[in-house]
Structure 1
């Protein structure tokens, strides 16, 4: 499996991970809360969350996540770089991408057919910018946003994980990520968090 290479820092082929990108939609708050609540405050890899949100209704997603996460959560700002110890949340009404220099940018354009912020667009940009240093995760949601992104990260050598459809309120996104994206691991959210701890302990740049 391409993304789940050796996680031994003594291995000369080991490349530390630099980003965890989590995509979700309908039914995503519960597994996202479970995952984030299981990560410690000293989790060493930056985290970006891309959840479908209404472009017209106000959202307090970062505030809600702050009640559940040991890591502080806030809206992502254009031009900033994801950093360890913080969970950045893609804002509503636009698409978020990771530029080649590692900074975040908003991508203008019409609403994607599968909803916005687009999980596919962000994961594909992370694959281009980070290659094997990216971890992509898809949780509960409708339709198939994230499947193309998972495939891109996997082709680039990154690690890919998907919530097991049987544990998802809306299994379409996880199922598509497995069927179309060929994700490396299929697990419930709490087990995904354990896998992230293992990858995080291996070290980052």
Structure 2
């Protein structure tokens, strides 16, 4: 019997997933530790992450989560090319975008829904760059950032995973994402890393 993840993976025509994009806000450090920490060595796709951070201070998020993850974790660098098995975080106060050639771009353009970096901009960029070969995941957070972006991913044939608001420390972002109707999977936090890994394993040999 096939799993929902396998069925979703097969809808993309068999091409490998080019990117997994994850977004979180309040409560995100713990949630990201659980999700990203559950991805195994050899994970066959790059992971790009927006976590809303205090714009006034340097962040140690890459160092903190790097201790919890099997994959290499770093802040994204403008012009860097994403590689499978690596996690790239948006730096504080910079939007993170992914181009069709897998090159990262950092931008200090206007705040979106009062935040920078913006999950919506990240998701919209991966939808445009990778279409059906993209995965977008929304975790805990206040506000509605990410809702427009998951709709863009879904409209381009990508796969959308949302943390079940019932398990989220802050329900705003996941509830807004669920309300769009774009979510393929709405899962408890502890099931998300296995779902992402299952999707990628099914399509990325």
Name the residue aligned to 2:9. Answer: 7
Check conservation: 1:94, 1:111, Cα contact below 8 A: no
Normalised TM-score (structure 1): 0.92
Q: Provide the alpha-carbon RMSD of the alignment.
A: 1.9
Normalised TM-score (structure 2): 0.92
Check conservation: 2:121, 2:149, Cα contact below 8 A: yes
In the alignment, the residues of structure 1 paired with residue 62 and residue 89 of structure 2 have an alpha-carbon distance, to the nearest angstrom, of 7
Name the residue aligned to 2:19. Answer: 19
Query: CA 1:94–1:40 in structure 2 vs 1: closer, same or farther (change >3 Å)?
Result: same
Check conservation: 1:147, 1:181, Cα contact below 8 A: no
Q: Does 1:119 align with 2:119?
A: yes
Name the residue aligned to 1:175. Answer: 175
Name the residue aligned to 1:72. Answer: 72
In the alignment, the residues of structure 2 paired with residue 87 and residue 122 of structure 1 have an alpha-carbon distance, to the nearest angstrom, of 14
Check conservation: 2:35, 2:190, Cα contact below 8 A: yes
Q: CA deviation at 1:110?
A: 2.6
Give the unaligned 5+ runs of structure 1.
none
Name the residue aligned to 2:92. Answer: 92
Comparing 34-43 and 137-146, the one that deviates more: 34-43
Give the unaligned 5+ runs of structure 2.
none
CA-to-aligned-CA distance 1:35-91 (integer Å, 9 cap, x gap) = 111111111111111111121112100001011111111001111121112111111
Check conservation: 2:120, 2:145, Cα contact below 8 A: yes
Name the residue aligned to 1:104. Answer: 104
In the alignment, the residues of structure 1 paired with residue 56 and residue 120 of structure 2 have an alpha-carbon distance, to the nearest angstrom, of 21
Comparing 91-100 and 126-135, the one that deviates more: 91-100
In the alignment, the residues of structure 2 paired with residue 172 and residue 19 of structure 1 have an alpha-carbon distance, to the nearest angstrom, of 25
Check conservation: 1:114, 1:144, Cα contact below 8 A: no
In the alignment, the residues of structure 1 paired with residue 136 and residue 23 of structure 2 have an alpha-carbon distance, to the nearest angstrom, of 8
Q: CA deviation at 1:101?
A: 2.4
Check conservation: 1:114, 1:143, Cα contact below 8 A: no
Q: CA deviation at 1:5?
A: 5.0
In the alignment, the residues of structure 2 paired with residue 152 and residue 203 of structure 1 have an alpha-carbon distance, to the nearest angstrom, of 21
Question: Which aligned runs of 4 or more in structure 1 are off by greater than 4 angstroms?
Answer: 3-6
Name the residue aligned to 2:43. Answer: 43
